[in-house]
Amino acid sequence: HRWGRGARPPRIHAPLSSLAQRVHLDIQVGEHTNNYPEIAAKDKLTELQLRARQLLDQVEQIQKEQNYQRFREERFRMTSESTNQRVLWWSIAQTVILILTGIWQMRHLKSFFEAKKLV
């Protein structure tokens, strides 16, 4: 992991004598996590090389974001198709139940009227 300027790695401190636990996390993500002046000094880069490195990092970040959005779109599409399929089968089941209930009611009423000798 790269930690930005002034950032420290996560520390977890839980003394045995205390019941309270404290966790401090300082997480930085994206293109702003790199300390470019430090990178330039360490690798002895010119201003143009440093700018090229920044642009390459930005392009890489954009590609990662695009891949993530494609993944989310694919997952959303699968969820939508699954939901549509379930709605279709639920409506078919409701229609079948409605038809069967109608048939049962007609037979029941017919036998009722025949028993009462109204038909």
Structure confidence at residue 117 (pLDDT): 84
Provide the strand spans (E) within the chain. 11-13, 22-24
pLDDT value at 30 more than 90: no
pLDDT value at 7 more than 90: no
pLDDT value at 89 more than 60: yes
- Whole-number Å distance between alpha carbons of 69 and 4: 26
Number of neighbouring beta carbons within 10 Å of residue 39: 15
Per-residue pLDDT, averaged over 26-47, amounts to: 76
pLDDT value at 91 more than 80: yes
40-63 pLDDT, tens digit each? 888 888 888 888 888 998 899 999
